[in-house]
Amino acid sequence: MKKLVLFMHISLDGFVAGTNGEMDWIKVNEEIFDYVAQSINETDTALYGRVTFEMMESYWPTAAQQPNASKHDIEHSIWYKAVSKFVISKSWQNKNISNAKVISDNLSENILSLKSQARKDIIMFGSPSTAQSLMKLNLIDEYWLFVNPIILGKGMPLFSGSNNITQLKLKGSTAFSSGVICLHYENLHN
């Protein structure tokens, strides 16, 4: 069975967005993009919440054709177009999307089925509400948390509303010149 791997930027105090959803505090650069690219090239399936999928869909399909496209834009655009995409959304139940499949019910059963059918690991970028739903069901196998050197004080927490204790094992950490540290954890209960 393949793993579901969460990639998430987070503040030092555990928030993934500010009180109004702002994410302008997230530090990304070519060094981080190159690091992430190594991991996503090992995946062929992407899982998104509806909001994150709409954001990705508005940019990545044509990012490589833009006049000032960066190396990252070109590489990620190619990956995005090739990868199988799944969107977790109750509001999109029965919605027909040409380049993605919608999972709107039986979340645990559908994700376990997806894991068993996947040829490679499944990656999930962002999608904090969806991540919280998956955490409650203990479906996330690995966490790649990009801890940004900022304390927001308030906002949207990543770890919220779960009554489960989840034990993690640190598999590695990487510090970047921007001050961001990637903490790579394995869920011990999977």
pLDDT tens digits, residue range 86-117?
999 988 866 777 779 999 889 999 999 999 99
Distance between CA atoms of residues 65 and 56, nearest Å: 15
Calculate the alpha carbon distances from 111 to 2, 95, 98, 108, 169 in Å: 11, 19, 20, 5, 22
pLDDT tens digits, residue range 145-187?
999 999 999 999 999 866 778 899 999 999 999 999 999 999 9
pLDDT at 126: 85
Higher pLDDT, 169 or 21: 169
CATH of the domain at 26: 3.40.430.10
Tokens standing for residue 6: 């969460």
Query: What sign for the dihedral angle of Cα 98, 103, 105, 109?
Result: positive
pLDDT at 162: 67
Torsion of CA 88, 92, 95, 101, to 10 degrees: -10
112 is in which domain, residue-wise?
A: 4-187
pLDDT at 190: 61
pLDDT at 154: 96
- The tally of domains found in the chain comes to 1
pLDDT tens digits, residue range 22-49?
999 999 999 999 999 888 888 989 999 9
Q: Beta-carbon neighbour count of residue 77 at 10 Å?
A: 19
pLDDT tens digits, residue range 58-75?
988 898 999 999 988 899
